[in-house]
């Protein structure tokens, strides 16, 4: 195996100019139905420099995907209440109308999904699905769109791309489908790529191919990436910064090395401890007891209290805010206040 120890030191990029590419302040997302209100995201704030990779880590229902979809305003307006400030480059997403968002989606911000099988339209050819995006945003001819599609398939490393342009999604293998979806997302050279667990549904030997590809493309194209995953080791492979989410809040934030190697929040510590590896053989895993809270119920105080091993009276009083543990490494835990 080849390790690239320089990868970490890599991107100083345009980040040095100072203004972050993405700014999210106090984002909340609620899903309203007749029976209940699900508070999926509760006051999330973060920022991201151009060319930087942020991994949002969390278990199912932690609000990580919801946060990302909110950035693109993909939630159905009818049952969703979104509040807070969101900005990507010079687009104030939170103030944009649906019509304005349509120009941004797929061009400035694009997204790749977990299941390539169900995320591509089954009755359109791969080439059509890529060219369609190019034609829509660049207002170019269909022929130019196809030329661009071919170029993109080559870029994402699809073998015999001419033939694949005419293929339907069900005629491709899982890895190729995921590459085709990446090609769709990159078709208009976005400045921000949102990736929703893009490697989770893939086999181990294919997952690593896609991860390496994504990292190469991210560096070559200088994109910023928000990468959602539940897998800490995937984050270790691709992230510059890491945000750990629990029950709709960011509970820890910092550089990937800080968070994974010196976790501060009890939840992050628990996650790391319960991630199985071979040298734990014959030992009991220090699992986090219980299960994540029901997001339909409003909780007083820190939502991790029922599962936490170091609870103080202060924990039940109010929701802890993110505070610096070290320079650039923050955690939301009463133990650090």
Chain residues 279-298 in contact with other proteins, contact rule CB under 8 A: 280-292
Instruction: List the one residue from 53, 126, 131, 132 that touches other proteins (CB under 8 A).
Output: 132
Q: Least CB distance from residue 24 to other proteins, whole Å?
A: 18
- Residue in the structure block whose two tokens are 């202060």: 314
Position 195 contacts other proteins (CB under 8 A): no
- Name the segment binding other proteins (CB under 8 A); options: 21-29, 42-50, 139-147, 170-178: 170-178
Q: Least CB distance from residue 88 to other proteins, whole Å?
A: 14
Neighbours of 205 (CB within 10 A): 8
Q: Closer to other proteins at the Cβ: 19 or 163?
A: 163
Q: Which of residues 68-97 bind other proteins (CB under 8 A)?
A: 69, 72, 74, 78
Distance CA(249)–CA(168), nearest Å, equals: 40
Q: Least CB distance from residue 78 to other proteins, whole Å?
A: 7
Neighbours of 283 (CB within 10 A): 7
Q: Closer to other proteins at the Cβ: 26 or 79?
A: 79
Neighbours of 103 (CB within 10 A): 13
Containing H/E element for 329? Answer: strand 329-331
Please, what is the end-to-end C-alpha distance for the chain in angstroms? 43
Position 206 contacts other proteins (CB under 8 A): yes
Containing H/E element for 104? Answer: helix 98-104
Position 189 contacts other proteins (CB under 8 A): no
Give Cα separations from 239 to 2, 51, 192, 212, 297 (angstroms).
18, 11, 14, 12, 32
Q: Least CB distance from residue 319 to other proteins, whole Å?
A: 18
Number of residues that bind other proteins (CB under 8 A): 91
- Residue in the structure block whose two tokens are 């480059």: 89
Q: Closer to other proteins at the Cβ: 291 or 310?
A: 291
Position 311 contacts other proteins (CB under 8 A): no
Q: Closer to other proteins at the Cβ: 17 or 309?
A: 309
Q: Least CB distance from residue 194 to other proteins, whole Å?
A: 8
Distance CA(182)–CA(198), nearest Å, equals: 9
Tokens of 252: 């820890």
Tokens of 251: 């509970």
Q: Which of residues 138-167 bind other proteins (CB under 8 A)?
A: none
Q: Closer to other proteins at the Cβ: 83 or 118?
A: 118
């Amino acid at each position: 195996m080849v390790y690239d120890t320089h990868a970490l030191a890599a991107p100083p990029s345009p980040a040095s100019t100072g203004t972050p590419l993405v700014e999210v302040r106090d984002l909340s997302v609620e899903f309203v139905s007749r029976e209940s209100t699900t508070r999926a995201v509760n006051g999330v704030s973060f920022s991201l420099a151009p060319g930087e990779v942020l991994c949002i880590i969390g278990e199912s229902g932690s609000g990580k995907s919801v946060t990302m979809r909110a950035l693109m305003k993909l939630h159905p307006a009818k049952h969703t209440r979104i509040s807070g400030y969101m900005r990507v480059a010079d687009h104030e997403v939170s103030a944009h109308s649906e019509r304005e968002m349509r120009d941004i989606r797929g061009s400035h911000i694009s997204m790749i999904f977990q299941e390539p099988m169900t995320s591509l339209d089954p009755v359109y050819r791969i080439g059509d699905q890529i060219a369609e995006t190019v034609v829509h945003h660049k207002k170019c001819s269909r022929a130019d769109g196809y030329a661009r599609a071919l170029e993109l398939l080559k870029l994402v490393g699809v073998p015999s791309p001419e033939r694949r342009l005419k293929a339907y999604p069900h005629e491709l293998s899982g890895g190729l489908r995921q590459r085709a979806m990446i090609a769709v997302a990159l078709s208009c050279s976005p400045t921000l790529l949102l990736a929703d667990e893009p490697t989770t549904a893939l086999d181990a030997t294919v997952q690593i191919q896609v991860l390496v590809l994504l990292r190469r493309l991210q560096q070559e194209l200088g994109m910023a990436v928000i990468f959602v995953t539940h897998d800490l080791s995937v984050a270790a492979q691709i992230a510059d910064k890491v945000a750990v989410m629990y029950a709709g809040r960011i509970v820890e934030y910092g550089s990937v090395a800080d968070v994974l190697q010196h976790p501060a929040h009890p939840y992050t510590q628990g996650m790391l401890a319960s991630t199985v590896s071979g040298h734990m053989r014959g030992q009991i895993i220090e699992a986090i007891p219980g299960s994540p809270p029901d997001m339909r119920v409003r909780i007083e105080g820190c939502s991790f209290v029922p599962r936490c091993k170091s609870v103080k009276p202060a924990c039940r009083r109010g929701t802890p805010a993110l505070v610096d543990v070290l320079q650039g490494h923050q955690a939301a835990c009463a133990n650090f206040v």
